C-alpha cells in the first residue's frame, strides 16, 4: 500500500485534509500494528511532506523546474504493457535505447540491438553485463525469486558468449516485510551461484519506497558480469540465411513457476529447478564451439514469438520453425499445464536455449548441448511457424500470453491499433524531452 500515492491522489481530487487524515489512519492501521495516535502523526507527516514537495511546481527558475519535473507522457506502464514482454514492451525498450544512443558512447553491443546483455571492449577482452528483475509475482516466494532471477542473468551473459565471473544483487523490501525474505532471496541466488561456480560479490538492500510503502512487497534484481577472452560476442544480428536453428528442452523459470503457483499446480515448480541451460552454454565454451555459433538466446522475451521477432528485425532474416519440433522440446509436465490452462506455448517464457549455427557445425553442437533441430534461417524479415503444412507468421502479441487469472483479465484491456499509435507518439515525445534534459545537465557538467 503506497501511502504517499494515496495522499497525492486525494489532494488532486481536492479532498479536505481532515478527510485525508481520517481515511489515511484507517489505511495505516490495516497494515501496521501501531496505536491510532501514532498512525495519525504518521499520516499528518506524510501530508506535510507532500504539500511541501508539490510546491516545486511553482518554482520560477524554469531550468530547475524542468529538471525536477519528469513531464508525464500520459501513458501508464500498464497501458503500454511495460514489463509484459510484448509489442508495447518492445517499443518502450526502444525508447530507452534512444536515450542511451544519444550519449554516443562506444560499445560493442548495447540496448539498441535488443540483445540479452551489453558488451564493451576493454584491454583486448569483451566485458558482458546483464541484469534481470525478479518476477513481480514471486514476492511471497523469495527463494524461488532469487533462484530464477540468478539463472536468468547468468543465461543472458552465457548467450552473449561470455564466461560469467561475478554476480551482484539488489533487493528492496517494503516496510512491513519480514527480513527473512532477504535471507531466502539471497539463499536462492547462492544455490545457483554455488552450483555453477560464480560468486555473489556485492549488492544493495533497501526498502520499497522507504517509509511510504506499507506491506510486505519485495522487488529485486540480480546482475551478472562475464568475460570473453578470445571469441566474438554472439549478438543477434549475426544470424545468416542457411543457418540451422537448434533448441534445448525448456522447463521454464520464473514465469512457469508463477503460472504453476497461481493456478494451483504446485508440483510443476519442481520442473523449473535445474541449471541445464547454464550447463549447456558452459559445454559450448569449454569445448571451443563458441566460435562457430552465430546466435544464442534464451526463449524468455514473450516466448518464441518475441525472441524470433527481435532476431528477425535485428538481423533482417526470417526464422522458420516446425511446431512439432518446438512442442517436443517443452518439458512434458510444463506443456501439459499450458494446454490445460489454454496458454499459448509460443507466447510464454519457457527458458530454452536457442542456438543459430551454420549447418556444418550443427551436429557437434547438438552432441554437446542436447539441443535438437527446430528450424532454419531463410530470406525475409518475418518469422514463421509451420503447423499442419501451413506457414503461419510468428508475431508477438501486445503482451505475452496471459498465464495467471489476473493476467487473463488484464489481457482484455489492450488498446486498439489506433490507440497504440497515439500512445507510441506520446512516449516518443516524452523520450525527446528526456534527451533534452540529459543534454542540459551534461552542459552543466563541463
Same domain, 433 and 357: no
Decide if 71 is inside a domain: no
The span from the CA of 161 to the CA of 285, in Å, is 8
The edge-to-edge listing of strands for the beta sheet with 125-133 is 118-122, 125-133, 218-228, 163-173, 200-206
Same domain, 241 and 280: yes
DSSP string, 345-401: TTSS----EEEEE-HHHHHHHHHHH--EEEEEEESSSS-EEEETTEEEE----SSSP
Same domain, 269 and 319: yes
The string over 13-40, giving b where at least 16 C-beta atoms fall within 10 Å of a residue's C-beta and e elsewhere, is eeeeeeebbeebbebbeebbeeeeeebb
Q: Is the dihedral of CA 96, 97, 98, 104 positive or negative?
A: positive
The 10 Å Cβ neighbour count of residue 103 is: 12
Same domain, 249 and 126: no
DSSP state of 330: B
The span from the CA of 105 to the CA of 114, in Å, is 17
Host H or E run for residue 359: helix 359-369
Give me the pLDDT at residue 115, please: 60
User: 25 with 39: CB under 8 angstroms?
Assistant: yes
Report residue 371 as a C-alpha cell.
Answer: 539441443
Report residue 121 as a C-alpha cell.
Answer: 571492449
Same domain, 303 and 405: yes
Same domain, 220 and 318: no
Give me the pLDDT at residue 245, please: 97
The span from the CA of 173 to the CA of 31, in Å, is 15
3-class DSSP assignment, residue 407? helix
Domain boundary among 191, 208, 233: 233
For the entire predicted model, the pTM comes to 0.88
Phi and psi (nearest 5°) for 203?
170, -165
Total domains, the chain: 4
Residue in the block written with cell 576493454: 122
Long-range pairs of 406-415 with CB within 8 A, sequence gap ≥ 24: 406/262, 410/78, 413/78, 413/79, 414/81, 415/79
Residue-wise pLDDT for 49-60, tens only, equals 999 988 888 889
Report residue 376 as a C-alpha cell.
Answer: 532454419
Same domain, 244 and 357: yes
Q: What CATH number does the domain containing 261 carry?
A: 3.90.650.10
User: 31 with 214: CB under 8 angstroms?
Assistant: yes
Same domain, 410 and 425: no
Give me the pLDDT at residue 116, please: 61
Q: Supply the range of the domain harboring residue 96.
A: 80-105+416-446
Give me the pLDDT at residue 20, please: 96
Host H or E run for residue 12: helix 3-12
Same domain, 198 and 285: no
Report residue 288 as a C-alpha cell.
Answer: 571451443
Same domain, 17 and 127: no
Q: Report the DSSP pairing between strands 200-206 and 163-173.
A: parallel
Average pLDDT by stretches of 10, the chain with 446 residues:
93 95 96 95 95 88 89 89 80 88 84 72 88 92 97 93 95 94 96 96 93 92 93 81 96 94 96 94 91 90 86 91 97 97 92 95 94 96 93 85 83 87 95 95 92
Same domain, 425 and 379: no
Give me the pLDDT at residue 83, please: 77
Same domain, 217 and 347: no
Give me the pLDDT at residue 392, please: 94
DSSP string, 98-158: HHHHTT----SB-GGGT-SSEEEEETTEEEEEEEEEPPGGGTT-HHHHHHHHHHHHHHHHH
Q: Is the dihedral of CA 428, 88, 156, 291 positive or negative?
A: negative
Amino acid at each position: 500500500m503506497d501511502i504517499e500515492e494515496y495522499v497525492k491522489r486525494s489532494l488532486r481530487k481536492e479532498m479536505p485534509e481532515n478527510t485525508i487524515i481520517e481515511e489515511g489512519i484507517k489505511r495505516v492501521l490495516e497494515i501496521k500494528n501501531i496505536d491510532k495516535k501514532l498512525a495519525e502523526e504518521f499520516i499528518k507527516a506524510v501530508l506535510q511532506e507532500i504539500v511541501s514537495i508539490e510546491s516545486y511546481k511553482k518554482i520560477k527558475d524554469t531550468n530547475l523546474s524542468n529538471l525536477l519535473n519528469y513531464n508525464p507522457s500520459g501513458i501508464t506502464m500498464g497501458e503500454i504493457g511495460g514489463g509484459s514482454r510484448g509489442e508495447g514492451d518492445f517499443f518502450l525498450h526502444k525508447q530507452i535505447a534512444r536515450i542511451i544512443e544519444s550519449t554516443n558512447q562506444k560499445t560493442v553491443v548495447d540496448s539498441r540491438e535488443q540483445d540479452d546483455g551489453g558488451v564493451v571492449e576493454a584491454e583486448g577482452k569483451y566485458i558482458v553485463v546483464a541484469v534481470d528483475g525478479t518476477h513481480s509475482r514471486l514476492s511471497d516466494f523469495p527463494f524461488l525469486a532469487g533462484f530464477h532471477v540468478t539463472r536468468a542473468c547468468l543465461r543472458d551473459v552465457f548467450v552473449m558468449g561470455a564466461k560469467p565471473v561475478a554476480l551482484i544483487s539488489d533487493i528492496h523490501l517494503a516496510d512491513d516485510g519480514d527480513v527473512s525474505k532477504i535471507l531466502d532471496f539471497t539463499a536462492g541466488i547462492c544455490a545457483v551461484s554455488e552450483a555453477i561456480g560464480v560468486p555473489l560479490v556485492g549488492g544493495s538492500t533497501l526498502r520499497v519506497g522507504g517509509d511510504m510503502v506499507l506491506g510486505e512487497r519485495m522487488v529485486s534484481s540480480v546482475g551478472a558480469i562475464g568475460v570473453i577472452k578470445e571469441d566474438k560476442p554472439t549478438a543477434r544480428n549475426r544470424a545468416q540465411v542457411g543457418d540451422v536453428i537448434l533448441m534445448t528442452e525448456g522447463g521454464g523459470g520464473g514465469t512457469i513457476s508463477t503460472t504453476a503457483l497461481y493456478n494451483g499446480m504446485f508440483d510443476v515448480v519442481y520442473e523449473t529447478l535445474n541449471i541445464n541451460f547454464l550447463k549447456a552454454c558452459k559445454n559450448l565454451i569449454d569445448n571451443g564451439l563458441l566460435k562457430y555459433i552465430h546466435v544464442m538466446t534464451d526463449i524468455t522475451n514473450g516466448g518464441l514469438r518475441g525472441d524470433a521477432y527481435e532476431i528477425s528485425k535485428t538481423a533482417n532474416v526470417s526464422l522458420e520453425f516446425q511446431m512439432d519440433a518446438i512442442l517436443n522440446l517443452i518439458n512434458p509436465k510444463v506443456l501439459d499445464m499450458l494446454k490445460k490452462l489454454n496458454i499459448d506455448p509460443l507466447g510464454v517464457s519457457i527458458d530454452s536455449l536457442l542456438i543459430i549455427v551454420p549447418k556444418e557445425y550443427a551436429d557437434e553442437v547438438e552432441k554437446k548441448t542436447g539441443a535438437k533441430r527446430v528450424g532454419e534461417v531463410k530470406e525475409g524479415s518475418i518469422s514463421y511457424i509451420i503447423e499442419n503444412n501451413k506457414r503461419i507468421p510468428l508475431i508477438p502479441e501486445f503482451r505475452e500470453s496471459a498465464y495467471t487469472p489476473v493476467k487473463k483479465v488484464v489481457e482484455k484491456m489492450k488498446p486498439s491499433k489506433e490507440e497504440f499509435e497515439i500512445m507510441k507518439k506520446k512516449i516518443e515525445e516524452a523520450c525527446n524531452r528526456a534527451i533534452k534534459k540529459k543534454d542540459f545537465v551534461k552542459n552543466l557538467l563541463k
